[in-house]
Chains A and B, each alone.
Chain A
Amino acid sequence: MEKQEDCLVIGGHRFYSRFILGSGKYSLQLIEAAVRDAGAEIVTLAVRRANTKEQENILDYIPKGVTLLPNTSGARNADEAVRIAHLARELGCGDFVKIEIMRDSKYLLPDNGETIKATERLAKEGFVVMPYMYPDLNVARDLVEAGAAAVMPLAAPIGSNKGLATKEFIQILIDEIDLPIIVDAGIGKPSEACAAMEMGAAAIMANTALATAGNLPLMAAAFKDAIAAGRKAYLAGLGRVLTRGAAASDPLTGFLHD
């Protein structure tokens, strides 16, 4: 039997990896190994004021062929997110953008309302828009209407490594929204990434879980395997769970007594 192709389609682009890798909080020298061992095809970046003291260009460290996904971190409203998206495009990253709008610097929670506005404007301009959001079904539906190419609900606050705190609400998005649901933020362990994939998430985005790990490339590989395992389990269809009692796995006849 021919193996069926399982790819992730975002804005008409096909990807075979379901692991979106962040590039923050670790050295540029580790990026290549992280991308390789993660098997990542998409890497996120931030846009910041350039510093003449730092002469190194992060783009020189990202392997060719990887899709760059600039985020709009630092934006406090839709106008600022649109401005950052335009600057990112001028920096030569293509048309992908991850919208990230926060008013709150303590919990770094996304502003869903402003995110819908920015998504609509940038999608109209032809960007492949991937909004980071607090998992709310109504907002997700508005993001679909606004032209999002994927929806990126948070699992837990950014950088917290706390895992699937919003699990029930992410499941609702997976069940109801006809776009890739990419779990972003808060995933701290490969097992959590695997669990999200088993639920039917289309992909996982992780940064801090790797950046704060003891061995970054090895953790990247662990996430890769966990995400692939979770995807296979989802495609296979999980076995049922009994509400009570037990069900023998062994034959119920031919016992060596009576």
Chain B
Amino acid sequence: MVRINGEDKAAAGKSLCDYLQEAGYDRRAIAVEYNEVILPKQDYETTVLQDGDVVEIVCFMGGG
């Protein structure tokens, strides 16, 4: 299982790019932290998710 935004997902073996697309994320609007390191967008295709990975997918929201 891969821990994505605090939830376990059966995403091991998929590229991050494929996961984001399948899950319905808008790539323009997000930033990804992969095992505590910010992942440049050009690495989304080549990053393959593995069991135990921790991924945070964030975006801007309204705030003060």
Chain A residues in the interface with B (C-beta under 8 A): 22-26, 28, 31, 44-50, 52, 55, 57-59, 68, 70-71, 73, 83, 86-88, 90-91, 93, 158-159, 185, 205, 207-208
Contacts and interface: CB of A to CB of B under 8 A. Distances in A.
11 contacts: A22-B63, A31-B62, A45-B60, A45-B63, A47-B58, A49-B5, A49-B57, A50-B59, A52-B25, A88-B60, A207-B64
A242 to B, nearest CB: 40
A55 B25 CA distance: 8
B62 A26 contact: yes
B33 interface: yes
Contacts of B29: 50, 57, 59, 91
Contacts of B63: 22-24, 44-46, 71, 73, 207
Nearest to B33: A87
For the side of the interface on B, what is the size category? 20 to 34
B60 A93 contact: yes
Given A47-B59, A49-B6, A91-B60, 10 more contacts: A24-B63, A45-B61, A46-B60, A50-B5, A50-B29, A55-B24, A88-B60, A158-B64, A207-B64, A208-B64
B38 A90 contact: yes
A47 B33 CA distance: 13
A71 B26 contact: no
Contacts of A185: 64
